[in-house]
Amino acid sequence: MDSNIYLPNLMIVEKITQEAPGVKTLRLKFKDEEFGQKFEFKAGQFAEYSAFGEGECTFCIASSPTRKGYVECTFREAGRVTSALAKLEEGDTMGFRGPYGNTFPIDEWKGKNLLFIAGGIALPPMRCVIWNTLDTRENFGDISIVYGAKSPADLVYKHELKEWGERPDVKLAVTVDPGGETPDWKGEVGFVPAVVEKMNPSPENTIAIVCGPPIMIKMTFPVLDKLGFKPENIYTTLENRMKCGVGKCGRCNVGEKYVCKDGPVFSRLELEALPAEY
Protein backbone atom coordinates (compact mmCIF):
# COMPACT_ATOMS: atom_id res chain seq x y z
CA MET A 1 0.00 0.00 0.00
CA ASP A 2 2.91 2.36 0.78
CA SER A 3 3.80 2.46 -2.91
CA ASN A 4 0.37 3.84 -3.89
CA ILE A 5 1.12 7.42 -4.96
CA TYR A 6 -2.53 8.40 -4.52
CA LEU A 7 -2.74 7.27 -0.88
CA PRO A 8 -3.28 10.36 1.30
CA ASN A 9 -1.76 11.05 4.71
CA LEU A 10 -4.37 11.25 7.45
CA MET A 11 -4.51 14.73 8.95
CA ILE A 12 -6.26 16.05 12.05
CA VAL A 13 -7.87 19.47 11.71
CA GLU A 14 -6.19 21.26 14.60
CA LYS A 15 -7.44 24.83 14.10
CA ILE A 16 -9.97 26.55 11.88
CA THR A 17 -9.85 30.28 11.11
CA GLN A 18 -12.66 32.05 9.27
CA GLU A 19 -10.61 34.53 7.20
CA ALA A 20 -13.35 36.20 5.16
CA PRO A 21 -16.87 35.31 3.96
CA GLY A 22 -16.57 31.80 2.44
CA VAL A 23 -12.82 31.62 3.09
CA LYS A 24 -11.27 29.43 5.79
CA THR A 25 -7.79 28.42 6.91
CA LEU A 26 -7.28 24.90 8.26
CA ARG A 27 -4.22 24.02 10.30
CA LEU A 28 -3.58 20.30 9.79
CA LYS A 29 -1.43 18.04 11.95
CA PHE A 30 -0.20 14.70 10.67
CA LYS A 31 -1.91 11.83 12.48
CA ASP A 32 1.49 10.12 12.30
CA GLU A 33 3.32 12.74 14.37
CA GLU A 34 6.77 11.26 13.71
CA PHE A 35 6.18 11.50 9.96
CA GLY A 36 4.85 15.04 10.45
CA GLN A 37 8.07 16.20 12.13
CA LYS A 38 10.10 14.83 9.21
CA PHE A 39 7.77 16.16 6.51
CA GLU A 40 9.45 18.74 4.26
CA PHE A 41 8.27 20.97 1.45
CA LYS A 42 9.36 24.21 -0.18
CA ALA A 43 7.60 27.53 -0.74
CA GLY A 44 5.40 27.46 -3.84
CA GLN A 45 4.46 23.78 -3.68
CA PHE A 46 0.89 22.52 -3.59
CA ALA A 47 -0.94 19.41 -2.38
CA GLU A 48 -4.13 17.44 -2.94
CA TYR A 49 -6.52 17.73 0.04
CA SER A 50 -9.37 15.24 0.43
CA ALA A 51 -12.75 15.19 2.10
CA PHE A 52 -13.66 11.52 2.52
CA GLY A 53 -16.52 10.42 0.29
CA GLU A 54 -16.40 13.65 -1.72
CA GLY A 55 -13.03 13.75 -3.49
CA GLU A 56 -9.84 15.77 -3.70
CA CYS A 57 -8.97 19.32 -4.56
CA THR A 58 -5.79 21.28 -5.09
CA PHE A 59 -4.55 24.04 -2.78
CA CYS A 60 -1.14 25.56 -2.28
CA ILE A 61 0.52 24.93 1.08
CA ALA A 62 -0.10 28.28 2.75
CA SER A 63 2.12 27.84 5.82
CA SER A 64 5.88 28.30 5.75
CA PRO A 65 8.35 25.38 5.51
CA THR A 66 10.23 27.06 8.38
CA ARG A 67 7.36 26.06 10.73
CA LYS A 68 7.44 22.32 11.36
CA GLY A 69 4.88 19.70 12.37
CA TYR A 70 1.83 21.10 10.57
CA VAL A 71 0.63 22.46 7.24
CA GLU A 72 -2.03 25.07 6.57
CA CYS A 73 -4.33 25.62 3.63
CA THR A 74 -6.63 28.55 2.95
CA PHE A 75 -9.52 28.02 0.57
CA ARG A 76 -12.63 29.58 -0.80
CA GLU A 77 -15.80 27.48 -0.95
CA ALA A 78 -16.18 26.84 -4.68
CA GLY A 79 -17.94 23.48 -5.15
CA ARG A 80 -18.25 19.91 -3.99
CA VAL A 81 -14.96 19.24 -2.19
CA THR A 82 -14.36 22.71 -0.77
CA SER A 83 -17.94 22.76 0.62
CA ALA A 84 -17.28 19.43 2.36
CA LEU A 85 -13.95 20.70 3.76
CA ALA A 86 -15.70 23.85 5.00
CA LYS A 87 -18.05 21.67 7.11
CA LEU A 88 -15.19 19.98 8.99
CA GLU A 89 -14.74 20.77 12.66
CA GLU A 90 -11.64 20.90 14.84
CA GLY A 91 -10.59 17.32 15.65
CA ASP A 92 -11.98 15.87 12.40
CA THR A 93 -9.81 13.84 10.00
CA MET A 94 -9.13 14.59 6.32
CA GLY A 95 -6.61 13.55 3.66
CA PHE A 96 -3.48 15.23 2.31
CA ARG A 97 -1.00 14.08 -0.32
CA GLY A 98 1.97 16.05 -1.50
CA PRO A 99 4.03 18.16 -1.69
CA TYR A 100 3.94 18.50 -5.47
CA GLY A 101 5.27 20.89 -8.07
CA ASN A 102 8.25 23.17 -8.29
CA THR A 103 9.17 25.97 -5.90
CA PHE A 104 9.95 29.65 -5.74
CA PRO A 105 13.77 29.90 -6.13
CA ILE A 106 14.20 31.54 -2.73
CA ASP A 107 17.85 30.51 -2.43
CA GLU A 108 18.64 32.47 -5.61
CA TRP A 109 16.94 35.54 -4.13
CA LYS A 110 19.39 35.89 -1.23
CA GLY A 111 20.68 39.47 -1.00
CA LYS A 112 17.83 40.83 -3.16
CA ASN A 113 14.86 43.08 -2.42
CA LEU A 114 11.47 41.36 -2.65
CA LEU A 115 8.23 42.95 -3.84
CA PHE A 116 5.12 40.82 -3.16
CA ILE A 117 1.96 41.77 -5.08
CA ALA A 118 -1.23 39.84 -4.33
CA GLY A 119 -4.96 40.12 -4.85
CA GLY A 120 -7.95 38.48 -3.12
CA ILE A 121 -7.69 34.79 -2.33
CA ALA A 122 -4.27 34.58 -4.04
CA LEU A 123 -2.46 35.69 -0.87
CA PRO A 124 -2.12 32.05 0.45
CA PRO A 125 0.68 30.93 -1.92
CA MET A 126 2.44 34.20 -1.24
CA ARG A 127 1.95 33.98 2.54
CA CYS A 128 4.08 30.83 2.46
CA VAL A 129 6.94 32.73 0.78
CA ILE A 130 6.44 35.85 2.91
CA TRP A 131 6.76 33.93 6.20
CA ASN A 132 9.63 31.88 4.77
CA THR A 133 11.57 35.06 3.94
CA LEU A 134 10.57 36.85 7.19
CA ASP A 135 11.69 33.82 9.22
CA THR A 136 15.10 34.09 7.47
CA ARG A 137 14.98 37.90 7.28
CA GLU A 138 18.76 38.39 7.37
CA ASN A 139 19.04 36.83 3.89
CA PHE A 140 17.06 39.54 2.08
CA GLY A 141 17.09 43.27 1.40
CA ASP A 142 13.92 45.36 1.49
CA ILE A 143 10.62 43.47 1.70
CA SER A 144 7.52 45.24 0.33
CA ILE A 145 3.99 43.84 0.14
CA VAL A 146 1.04 45.19 -1.83
CA TYR A 147 -2.20 43.34 -1.16
CA GLY A 148 -5.71 44.17 -2.29
CA ALA A 149 -9.23 42.79 -2.03
CA LYS A 150 -12.70 43.95 -3.01
CA SER A 151 -13.55 45.24 0.48
CA PRO A 152 -12.01 45.20 3.99
CA ALA A 153 -14.13 42.12 4.86
CA ASP A 154 -12.62 40.20 1.91
CA LEU A 155 -9.01 40.63 3.09
CA VAL A 156 -7.54 37.33 4.30
CA TYR A 157 -5.01 36.90 7.16
CA LYS A 158 -6.19 40.17 8.76
CA HIS A 159 -4.22 39.54 11.98
CA GLU A 160 -1.03 38.85 9.98
CA LEU A 161 -1.49 41.96 7.82
CA LYS A 162 -1.57 43.94 11.07
CA GLU A 163 1.60 42.19 12.25
CA TRP A 164 3.43 42.80 8.93
CA GLY A 165 2.26 46.44 8.95
CA GLU A 166 3.77 46.97 12.42
CA ARG A 167 7.19 45.56 11.47
CA PRO A 168 9.85 48.19 10.74
CA ASP A 169 11.50 45.83 8.23
CA VAL A 170 8.39 45.42 6.03
CA LYS A 171 6.74 48.02 3.79
CA LEU A 172 3.04 47.12 3.50
CA ALA A 173 0.27 48.69 1.42
CA VAL A 174 -3.21 47.20 1.79
CA THR A 175 -5.86 48.40 -0.60
CA VAL A 176 -9.54 47.83 -1.38
CA ASP A 177 -11.30 48.34 -4.69
CA PRO A 178 -12.87 51.76 -5.30
CA GLY A 179 -16.40 51.63 -3.88
CA GLY A 180 -15.47 48.74 -1.55
CA GLU A 181 -14.18 50.96 1.25
CA THR A 182 -16.08 51.27 4.54
CA PRO A 183 -16.26 54.49 6.64
CA ASP A 184 -13.61 53.19 9.07
CA TRP A 185 -11.17 51.97 6.34
CA LYS A 186 -7.72 53.55 6.83
CA GLY A 187 -5.75 51.83 4.04
CA GLU A 188 -5.45 52.59 0.33
CA VAL A 189 -8.40 52.72 -2.05
CA GLY A 190 -7.57 51.64 -5.60
CA PHE A 191 -6.84 48.60 -7.72
CA VAL A 192 -3.62 46.71 -6.96
CA PRO A 193 -1.71 47.72 -10.14
CA ALA A 194 -2.41 51.44 -9.46
CA VAL A 195 -1.15 51.09 -5.89
CA VAL A 196 2.04 49.40 -7.14
CA GLU A 197 2.58 52.26 -9.58
CA LYS A 198 2.05 54.79 -6.78
CA MET A 199 4.52 52.93 -4.53
CA ASN A 200 7.05 53.27 -7.38
CA PRO A 201 9.41 50.44 -6.32
CA SER A 202 12.89 50.37 -7.80
CA PRO A 203 13.58 47.38 -10.08
CA GLU A 204 17.24 47.53 -9.02
CA ASN A 205 18.24 44.17 -7.45
CA THR A 206 14.51 43.44 -6.88
CA ILE A 207 12.38 40.34 -7.52
CA ALA A 208 8.62 40.85 -7.98
CA ILE A 209 6.28 38.00 -7.04
CA VAL A 210 2.74 38.44 -8.40
CA CYS A 211 -0.25 36.25 -7.45
CA GLY A 212 -3.84 37.14 -8.13
CA PRO A 213 -6.82 36.75 -10.37
CA PRO A 214 -5.88 36.70 -14.09
CA ILE A 215 -7.13 40.26 -14.64
CA MET A 216 -4.95 41.57 -11.80
CA ILE A 217 -1.89 39.81 -13.18
CA LYS A 218 -2.65 41.09 -16.70
CA MET A 219 -2.91 44.69 -15.46
CA THR A 220 0.13 44.45 -13.13
CA PHE A 221 2.65 43.18 -15.69
CA PRO A 222 2.57 46.43 -17.78
CA VAL A 223 3.07 48.47 -14.60
CA LEU A 224 6.15 46.38 -13.74
CA ASP A 225 7.36 46.84 -17.35
CA LYS A 226 6.97 50.60 -17.00
CA LEU A 227 8.90 50.55 -13.72
CA GLY A 228 11.73 48.67 -15.48
CA PHE A 229 11.37 45.13 -14.05
CA LYS A 230 12.86 42.49 -16.37
CA PRO A 231 10.68 39.39 -17.17
CA GLU A 232 13.23 37.08 -15.55
CA ASN A 233 12.81 38.97 -12.26
CA ILE A 234 9.01 38.54 -12.12
CA TYR A 235 7.44 35.32 -10.77
CA THR A 236 3.89 34.06 -10.55
CA THR A 237 2.07 30.82 -9.83
CA LEU A 238 -0.61 29.25 -12.06
CA GLU A 239 -3.83 27.56 -10.92
CA ASN A 240 -4.78 25.38 -13.90
CA ARG A 241 -7.28 22.66 -13.01
CA MET A 242 -5.56 19.49 -11.85
CA LYS A 243 -6.51 15.92 -11.08
CA CYS A 244 -3.55 13.68 -10.26
CA GLY A 245 -1.01 16.38 -9.33
CA VAL A 246 1.84 14.11 -10.36
CA GLY A 247 2.13 14.32 -14.16
CA LYS A 248 0.00 11.25 -14.98
CA CYS A 249 -3.44 12.41 -16.13
CA GLY A 250 -2.62 15.20 -18.61
CA ARG A 251 -5.32 17.52 -17.20
CA CYS A 252 -3.13 20.51 -16.42
CA ASN A 253 -0.95 21.01 -19.47
CA VAL A 254 -0.18 24.32 -21.17
CA GLY A 255 1.52 23.51 -24.46
CA GLU A 256 4.25 21.03 -23.59
CA LYS A 257 4.38 21.96 -19.90
CA TYR A 258 2.53 20.18 -17.10
CA VAL A 259 1.62 22.84 -14.56
CA CYS A 260 1.67 20.17 -11.81
CA LYS A 261 5.28 19.15 -12.51
CA ASP A 262 6.95 22.00 -14.43
CA GLY A 263 5.00 24.56 -12.32
CA PRO A 264 2.99 25.92 -10.67
CA VAL A 265 5.73 28.57 -10.25
CA PHE A 266 6.86 30.26 -13.48
CA SER A 267 8.93 33.34 -14.18
CA ARG A 268 7.38 35.79 -16.59
CA LEU A 269 10.16 34.92 -19.02
CA GLU A 270 9.01 31.27 -18.94
CA LEU A 271 5.35 32.30 -19.35
CA GLU A 272 6.21 34.29 -22.47
CA ALA A 273 7.41 31.04 -24.07
CA LEU A 274 4.08 29.27 -23.35
CA PRO A 275 0.97 29.33 -25.57
CA ALA A 276 -1.38 32.19 -24.58
CA GLU A 277 -3.97 29.72 -23.16
CA TYR A 278 -2.46 29.76 -19.63
The dihedrals phi and psi of 14, each to the nearest 5 degrees, come to -90, -35
> Which CB atom, from 147 or from 258, has the smaller least distance to ligand FES?
258
> Which CB atom, from 222 or from 250, has the smaller least distance to ligand FES?
250
Q: What is the largest CA-CA distance in the chain?
A: 57
- Residue 274 near ligand FES by CB under 6 A: no
Query: Residue 124: which of ligand FAD, ligand FES, none does it interact with, CB under 5 to 8 A by kind?
Result: ligand FAD
The dihedral formed by the CA atoms of 69, 74, 79 and 85, expressed in degrees to the nearest 10:
40
Query: Residue 251: which of ligand FAD, ligand FES, none does it interact with, CB under 5 to 8 A by kind?
Result: ligand FES
- What is the total count of residues that contact ligand FES (CB under 6 A)? 12
- Enumerate residues 214-273 that contact ligand FES by CB under 6 A: 242-245, 247-252, 258, 260
> Which CB atom, from 29 or from 261, has the smaller least distance to ligand FES?
261
CB 240, min distance to ligand FES, A? 8
> Which CB atom, from 25 or from 58, has the smaller least distance to ligand FES?
58
CB 190, min distance to ligand FES, A? 36
Query: Residue 79: which of ligand FES, ligand FAD, none does it interact with, CB under 5 to 8 A by kind?
Result: ligand FAD
Return the H-helix or E-strand segment holding 235: strand 234-237
Return the H-helix or E-strand segment holding 172: strand 171-176
Query: What is the three-class DSSP state of 229?
Result: coil
Residues contacting residue 190 through CB under 8 Å, at least 6 positions apart:
148, 175, 177, 178, 198
Query: Residue 155: which of ligand FAD, ligand FES, none does it interact with, CB under 5 to 8 A by kind?
Result: none
Distance between CA 235 and CA 167 in Å, rounded? 24
Task: Give the interface with ligand FAD as residue ranges (CB under 6 A).
Answer: 46, 57-60, 74-76, 78-82, 121, 124, 239-242, 264
Distance between CA 170 and CA 173 in Å, rounded? 10
Query: CB neighbours (10 Å) of residue 156?
Result: 24
Binding site for ligand FES (CB under 6 A): 242-245, 247-252, 258, 260
